[in-house]
């Protein structure tokens, strides 16, 4: 089931409703390093090569189009075309990616309960839909975030719209995400936040989250119990 970002309905607060919102791109499918590789290759192709360290510090999590325009300003490439090519390649990467075992296990333990679930993605909807169907989670909703203002992260508006889709107050939702900026934007809304980092992002500031771990951990039972405890 799919909803476009700009058609999300207004939230209605109910006393016992609880929501579970999952970052499909960067948690379930762990596309962060794919994004880095694709972006750096795209820069190299137009003679604007950049180090991994500079990408992490100067590009990742920054304004998508503003940074692209600055990086390629001395080339003949338009920022909108540069970003569109990266997005298209990421769609292909998602289609071939394998879900993170920890996150898929957590979802399989949480979703069959009374919690309403939304997967957030900025990728092609049909590919995202196939991912959750393959995992047996086709009753969950998908929020298509058409535009990422900040590269590789989601802001508070996206999390709020995901809560709106399931008619749950943001404060009654738990967000599972990976980038620290995405986690902090959920914290700002008063959402319970589970942050599972990866080797590229582990240096980031995850202060304020309710649970912090890594995508490589092997403790799905513990994390699922933590998420379900927020619903009580």
Query: What is the per-residue pLDDT across 183-202, written as a single tens digit (0 to 9) for each?
Result: 999 999 999 999 999 999 98
- Give the residue among 82, 52, 107 at the shortest CA–CA distance from 227: 107
- For CA atoms 168, 117, 214, 40, give the dihedral sign: negative
Tell me the per-residue pLDDT of 84-126, one tens digit each, with 9 for 90 and over: 999 899 989 998 999 999 999 999 999 998 889 999 999 889 9
Tell whether pTM > 0.85.
Answer: yes
User: Would you kindly state where each structural domain of the chain is located, as residue ranges?
Assistant: 2-30+99-230, 32-96
Look at domain 2-30+99-230 and name its CATH class: alpha beta
Q: Provide long-range contacts, Cβ within 8 A and 24+ apart, for 179-184.
A: 179/23, 179/26, 179/32, 179/61, 179/152, 179/153, 179/154, 179/204, 180/61, 180/204, 180/205, 180/206, 181/61, 181/150, 181/153, 181/155, 182/23, 182/26, 182/153, 182/154, 182/155, 183/208, 183/209, 184/208
Distance of CA 138 to the CA centre of its chain: 18
Residue 218, token pair as written in the block: 């092997």
């Amino acid at each position: 089931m799919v909803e476009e970002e700009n058609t999300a309905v207004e939230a209605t607060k109910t006393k016992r409703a609880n929501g579970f919102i999952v970052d499909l791109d960067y948690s379930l499918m762990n596309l962060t390093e794919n994004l880095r590789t694709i972006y750096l290759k795209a820069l190299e192709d137009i003679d604007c090569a950049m180090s991994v360290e500079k990408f992490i510090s100067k590009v990742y999590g920054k304004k998508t189009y503003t940074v692209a325009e600055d990086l390629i300003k001395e080339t003949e490439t338009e920022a909108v075309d540069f970003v569109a090519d990266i997005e298209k390649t990421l769609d292909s990467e998602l289609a071939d990616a394998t879900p993170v075992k920890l996150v898929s296990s957590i979802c399989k333990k949480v979703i069959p309960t009374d919690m309403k679930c939304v997967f957030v993605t900025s990728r092609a909807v049909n590919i995202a839909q196939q991912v959750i169907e393959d995992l047996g989670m086709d009753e969950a909703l998908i929020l298509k975030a058409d535009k990422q203002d900040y590269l590789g992260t989601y802001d508070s508006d996206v999390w709020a719209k995901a809560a709106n889709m399931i008619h749950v107050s943001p404060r009654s939702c738990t967000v599972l995400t990976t980038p620290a900026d995405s986690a902090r934007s959920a914290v700002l809304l008063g959402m319970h936040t589970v942050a599972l980092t990866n080797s590229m992002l582990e240096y980031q500031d995850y202060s304020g989250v309710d649970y912090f771990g890594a995508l490589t951990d092997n403790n799905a039972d513990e994390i699922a119990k933590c998420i379900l405890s927020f619903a009580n």
